[in-house]
Structure 1
């Protein structure tokens, strides 16, 4: 599932997802995200290997995950998007970088919020990783998230990247609503 976004309010250039966010995607992502079922990652890796190729993203400078706040990372023990980004990095041979963005606010879960509440919840939540702003300027960045629902999270991340002069931000996810 590929989407080119031309809407002015989006700060990313395109999105690509494995599947629509339905019951199957919801169950698989929950197993990976909340229950540390890394067997599901093998399935995602196989599917991404089928739909992605080296040349499609060969001009990207970095692949980065949507960051988790340090408290959520501590509670969960891992960032599922970081694991996914590393996996995709190996498939498409784009350098993985974990220290481009940080999440500086521990926000409430987005899952039960509508679009406007999500936007308010995430406003000014992401920032460049301290001391690494120079890694963003004039770079093409591939951002990885697990689910794209309203697009608020990827838009907020992309807004920060574009504000700091990234030349392009594309997004890959497992599922999209």
Structure 2
């Protein structure tokens, strides 16, 4: 496999750990209070590792408009907007966009995830010029194969971003 487009990744915990239940309650039972607790855990436990990260933007992995309407909120944004980061880092849910994708990826193989995610994301043209030569942090709730974050990093770099750093709440174990 080729080197990823993103430059580094910070992760709070493994997916099958103690935080999984709270994340599921946030995503599937719409318990937004869980976003406060999960973000507080991130802020407390990751502060040392990310304190000196130099970046200009913190962007959540976007949902498509259809999925956003169906769920009512973007769990990655609900977490990301509560992350304590340096005041010069702009947090925005409007810069990255996602086309609607009808298939769920949860049970897909690594190869199928990489194929199906290609071309899914784009930068809102209104903000494109602001990203040139910047370092961008992309926040996601779960990293499984890395396909989504890799595709987002590719799109960001194609739009002039110099570095992409992933901040991930939970990481699944590597699949065979």
TM-score w.r.t. the length of structure 1 is 0.88
Aligned residue pair count: 168
Find the aligned partners of 1:48 and 1:36 in 2 and give their Cα distance: 20
* Counterpart for residue 136 of structure 2: 141
1:120 to 101, 115, 122: 115
RMSD: 1.7
Q: CA deviation at 1:143?
A: 0.3
TM superposition outliers: structure 1 runs of 4+ over 6 Å: none
For structure 2, the residue ranges without an aligned partner over 5 or more in a row are none
The alignment status of 1:61 with 2:56, answered yes or no, reads yes
| SS in structure 2 at match of 1:24 | coil
* Counterpart for residue 3 of structure 2: 9
Does structure 2 conserve the Cα–Cα contact (< 8 Å) formed by 1:100 and 1:135? no
| SS in structure 2 at match of 1:175 | strand
TM-score w.r.t. the length of structure 2 is 0.88
For structure 1, the residue ranges without an aligned partner over 5 or more in a row are 1-6
* Counterpart for residue 79 of structure 1: 74
The alignment status of 1:92 with 2:85, answered yes or no, reads yes
| SS in structure 1 at match of 2:170 | strand
